[in-house]
Every structure is written in C-alpha cells, then in structure tokens.
A = this chain, B = another copy of it.
Amino acid sequence: MLALTILGNNSAIPAWDRNPTAHILQSFEECYLIDCGEGTQIQMSKYKIRRSKINHIFISHLHGDHYFGLIGLLTSMSLLSRMQDLHLHAPAALEQIINLQLNVADVKLSYQLYFHPITENGIIVNDNKITVESFKVKHRIECWGFLFREKKNPRKINSVRVKLYEIPTSYYEQLQKGEDYVTKKGTIIPNKEVTIEGVKPKSYAYCADTIYDESLVEKIKSVDLLYHEATYLAALHQRAAERFHSTTVQAAAIAKKGNVKKLLIGHFSSKYEILDEFLTEASKVFENTELALQGVSYRI
C-alpha cells in the first residue's frame, strides 16, 4: 500500500504559494523523501510528516529547486538528536556540498549519514518491503528518475476463521507471511484456510525534470502511478525543449504510451498562477490525470 504526498509542485522560483519540488512516498510505516526543495522541512511540519519516519532520501539532480532544502532538514534532524541511520541517494557532487556546509558550521551530525552516489541505472534500495531503481533522464545536467516497487504485501488474517481454529494471536505474523498453522494435536491448517490475499503490490515512477523522451516509456511501463513533470502548457513546447522540460501533452503522451494506471503532473512554471488548463490539456491525451497539489495525498 503506497501513498504519495506532494510537499512542493512549483519549478525554479517559489511563487503563488507553491513550493519547489518535494514528494513523500509512504509505504506502511516508512516514508521515502524524493527531492527536497527549499522549505521542505517547513512543509513537512505543516502536513504532519514526521522526520523520524524517513530513512531514505532521493535527490534527482542538483538544480536548487530540487535540493536547497536538504541541508536544513539534515541539520534539523541532528538538532533533534536523531539516532537512526539515514541513507542519501544523490548525484556524487552533493556529498562535498553537504560536508562543506557542516564543516564551516563546526557541526557533527548526531546520526550516521550514508551517502550513496548514483552512478548508473539499477536497483539502489532493496529491503524487505520495497525496491527502488534509478534510471537516467534527459535534462540540462545529470538527472535521475526513481521507480518504486512494493514487494508482496502481507496476507490478511480472516478474523472469523482464525477464531474458529483457535489460532493464538502470537501466530498471526507467521500467517501473514503465508505459513501454515500446526495445532497442538499436529493437524495442519493450510494458510489459505485462515488468510486472504494481501493488497496487490503497487508501483510509483518519478521522472524528475526531463525533456520529452520516448525512451522513458520502457522504464515506467504499466506503473500504478506515474509522476511526470509538466512545466509548461502545450503552446510553449519549443521553450520546454530548449530548457529540457516537458509540456502537459508530452507528459500525457508518455503516460499513454506507457499504459500507466494514473498520471500526476507537476513542476509548474511560475509564469502560471492558475493551473486548470494543465489538467484540461493533459486529460485530453490521457484521461486519468491529476494535478500534483500541495498537501494532497494520492493513494496508489
């Protein structure tokens, strides 16, 4: 079960009460932070995202609107005496920037920060709940997209049947993993008798900042939710191309070709105060589109 919360949906310059990019992907008790524009820690407080739930941070590229809020978040975590490890996945040059800023302030973080430079396409996180894969996208500077895939979700307990077989609650976790139950008398109760299928594993693809690029289709094929930037309305496709960004209809075309379940568009240019037209244009090409709106959680 995944849910995505948007903390910032604007590009480049904060404007119209829209903050620069930051997404929180929630998978059960864990939160994954994807990009971290200026003000992200303030947005996290506003939308009740607890810093302690975050163990992995992913930075797509080193344009400021995607990472200027990171150093503030890292130091705040330390000021709050965080103990648990933190893993940072980002382009290699970010490590020097962070270390330099910690050094001049004479700060030693209270926790262990593991820096994982992203160097190629492939799996960068693989734990018991999720895999995260990086894939290169085409932007002005080195830039990475991220593909999150849940692993098989735990089976659900059939509360009537477990009572019928008098299975102790201490055994439920094993049932959720798919194990059979053996009674004191040695009778085997097959797992399927007392559990039902868990929620289908979900997937989320984040394409960061990218020019229109059909080679992305293969990467994001059939995901449950695709986030694709749409910095400009369709009329400005030339400007979009010049700046290695995309338009509404381009984002929707990738979603359509990729046969994804749902498309979320964001990273709106500051030149637009009203966003209605973004939805209108994209929906014509790919119907199940939504605008990435700040503070909204999208259940995947």
A interface residues, Cβ below 8 angstroms from B: 12-15, 19, 38-39, 41-42, 45, 62-64, 68-69, 71-72, 75-76, 79-80, 91, 93-94, 96-97, 100-101, 104-106, 140-141
CA distance A62 to B71 in the complex (A): 13
How many whole Å from A17's CB to the nearest CB in chain B? 9
Q: Is the CB of B68 within 8 A of A64?
A: no
Residues in B neighbouring A105, C-beta threshold 8 A: 62-64, 141
- For the A-B complex with A13-B79, A13-B80 known, give 20 more contacts whose Cβ atoms are closer than 8 Å: A12-B76, A12-B79, A13-B41, A13-B76, A19-B42, A38-B38, A38-B39, A38-B42, A38-B72, A62-B104, A62-B105, A63-B105, A64-B71, A64-B75, A64-B101, A64-B105, A68-B68, A93-B100, A100-B100, A106-B140
Instruction: Tell me whether A106 and B141 are in contact in the complex, defined as CB-CB below 8 angstroms, given that A19-B42, A39-B38, A42-B19 are known contacts.
Output: yes
CA distance A15 to B51 in the complex (A): 13
Residues in B neighbouring A79, C-beta threshold 8 A: 12-13
CA distance A96 to B80 in the complex (A): 28
Q: Is the CB of B38 within 8 A of A14?
A: no
How many whole Å from A200's CB to the nearest CB in chain B? 39
Count of this chain's copies in the oligomeric assembly: 2
Q: Top 5 nearest A-B pairs by Cβ distance? A: A62-B104, A38-B72, A93-B104, A13-B76, A68-B72
CA distance A39 to B8 in the complex (A): 13
Q: Is the CB of B38 within 8 A of A41?
A: yes
CA distance A75 to B97 in the complex (A): 16
Q: Is the CB of A45 within 8 A of B93?
A: no
CA distance A62 to B64 in the complex (A): 19
Residues in B neighbouring A80, C-beta threshold 8 A: 13
Q: Which of B14, B63, B91, B96 contacts A42 (CB 8 A)?
A: B14
Q: Which of B45, B75, B96 contacts A100 (CB 8 A)?
A: B96
Instruction: Tell me whether A14 and B45 are in contact in the complex, defined as CB-CB below 8 angstroms, given that A38-B72, A75-B64 are known contacts.
Output: yes
How many whole Å from A290's CB to the nearest CB in chain B? 25
Q: Is the CB of A97 within 8 A of B93?
A: no
List 29 interface pairs A-B (beta carbons < 8 Å), by A numbering: A12-B79, A13-B41, A13-B79, A14-B41, A14-B42, A14-B45, A15-B45, A19-B42, A38-B41, A38-B42, A38-B68, A38-B69, A39-B42, A62-B101, A62-B104, A62-B105, A64-B71, A64-B75, A64-B105, A68-B71, A68-B72, A91-B104, A96-B100, A97-B97, A97-B104, A104-B141, A105-B141, A106-B140, A106-B141
CA distance A153 to B169 in the complex (A): 81
Residues in B neighbouring A62, C-beta threshold 8 A: 101, 104-105
